[in-house]
Amino acid sequence: MSVRRLILYVMLTAGAVSFIYPFLWMGSISLRPMTEFQDLGLFSKNFTLANYQAVFDRIPIGRAFMNSCLIAGTVTCSVIFFSSLVGYSLAKLKFKGQGAIMAIVMISMMIPGQLTLIPLYQLIVYFGWADSYLGLIVPSLMSGMGILIFRQTFMTIPYELMEAARMEGAGEFQILRKIFWPLAKPAIVTIGILTFMGSWNEVLWPMIVVHEKAMMTLPQMVVLFTKGGESGGQFGVEMAANMMLVVPIIISYSFFQKYFVEALASSGIKG
């Protein structure tokens, strides 16, 4: 029994190493001079920040970082706000056309995004939103999944709480703000993480609507940097750029690990 257990641990540890070591190696290579690019170990006497300096010198990566923060932040706030409005309407109000709205939310989620990708790009060009924040942000301001999660959460909140607030003359928006939002914190965290991550990691859409460097998102710029030749094929410089893409996520993940896992796990069950 204990031998079996030992074998299990050895295998699990080997697995864990294969998940962590590549990231550690990437960090190590990003801190070493070009001449050591073949070294697969983690340590060196020659650690240097030269690769990071090279990234900052060659591309406006700070700007790309700010762009990504701005875009993902705006999209996340909007999705939380508007999805909770629609989720509340579907869960707690009674009005004509409610069933139709629910049906259209489901349909919009069932249709694969590939169908609308090209026409959506043309719409953005028509609006004059190519190479602009509007083109990157506006199409993702709403989310069917956010609506479904809020609707499900709000349905579990008892009507009595609403009735009491209505007696005191509160309007529907006040009820949503003062009673439902505070009670739906886990749902807000879940939708917040899913939306922010989705927006932060998205590359295809930015690659379609943005070609100006000043408007690029972080992953897009890092991809262009490694693919487009500006990195000069230098491992260390590429990995330094990649580190700047990965490290913010790893830091937030290590602090809020539990929430990340819960959020993504629920995405599967609902989606």
Partner 1 sequence: MQSEQSHSKAGILFTSPYLIHLVVFFLYPVGFSLYLVFHRWDLMTDPEYVGLRNFTYLMSDHLFWQALTNTLYFLVIHIPLQIIVALALAIVLAKPLKGRVFFRATFFLPVVISGAAVTILWQRLYSTEVGLINYVLSLVGIDAVPWLTDPGIAMPAIAIMATWKNLGLYVVFFLAGILAIPQTVYEAAKMEGASSWHEFRYITLPLLKPTMFLVVVMSTLGGFNLFIEPYVMTGGGPLGSTMSVVLYMYKQAFSFQHMGYAATLGFALALIIMVCVFIQKKYLDSERYY
Q: Which stretch binds partner 1 (CB under 8 A): 44-52, 59-67, 82-90, 182-190?
A: 82-90
Shorter beta-carbon distance to partner 1: residue 119 or 182: 119
Report in angstroms how near the CB of residue 206 gets to partner 1 at its nearest: 10
Exposed/middle/buried for 213, CB within 10 Å: 0-12, 13-18, 19+? Answer: middle
Shorter beta-carbon distance to partner 1: residue 122 or 156: 122
Report in angstroms how near the CB of residue 245 gets to partner 1 at its nearest: 5
What DSSP element (H or E) covers 85? helix 61-92
Report in angstroms how near the CB of residue 33 gets to partner 1 at its nearest: 15
Report in angstroms how near the CB of residue 113 gets to partner 1 at its nearest: 8
Q: Which residue type is seen at 64? A: A
Question: Do 187 and 157 meet the contact criterion of CB atoms below 8 Å apart?
Answer: no
CA dihedral 76, 82, 83, 84 (to 10 degrees): 110
Q: Residues 235-247, buried b or exposed e (16+ Cβ, 10 A)? A: bbbbbbbbbbbbe
Interaction of residue 86 with partner 1, rule CB under 8 A: yes
Interaction of residue 103 with partner 1, rule CB under 8 A: no
Shorter beta-carbon distance to partner 1: residue 171 or 232: 171
User: In whole angstroms, how far apart are CA 113 and each of 117, 159, 205?
Assistant: 6, 37, 11
Q: Which stretch binds partner 1 (CB under 8 A): 55-63, 150-158, 177-185, 261-269?
A: 261-269
Report in angstroms how near the CB of residue 63 gets to partner 1 at its nearest: 18
Residue 139 CB partners (closer than 8 Å, separation 6+): 120, 124, 205
- Residues in the interface with partner 1 (CB under 8 A) total 86
* Residue 2, phi-psi category: left (phi > 0), alpha (psi -120 to 50), beta (remainder): alpha
> Nearest CA to 48 among 225, 240, 231?
240
Shorter beta-carbon distance to partner 1: residue 63 or 152: 152
Choose which of 77, 120, 134, 157 interacts with partner 1 (CB under 8 A).
120
Interaction of residue 155 with partner 1, rule CB under 8 A: no
Q: Which of residues 174-233 bind partner 1 (CB under 8 A)?
A: 197, 200-201, 203-204, 207-208, 219-220, 222-223, 226-227
Shorter beta-carbon distance to partner 1: residue 37 or 56: 37
Q: What count of other Cβ atoms lies within 10 Å of the Cβ of residue 78?
A: 18
Q: Which of residues 29-68 bind partner 1 (CB under 8 A)?
A: 29, 37-38, 40
Choose which of 49, 66, 93, 251 interacts with partner 1 (CB under 8 A).
93
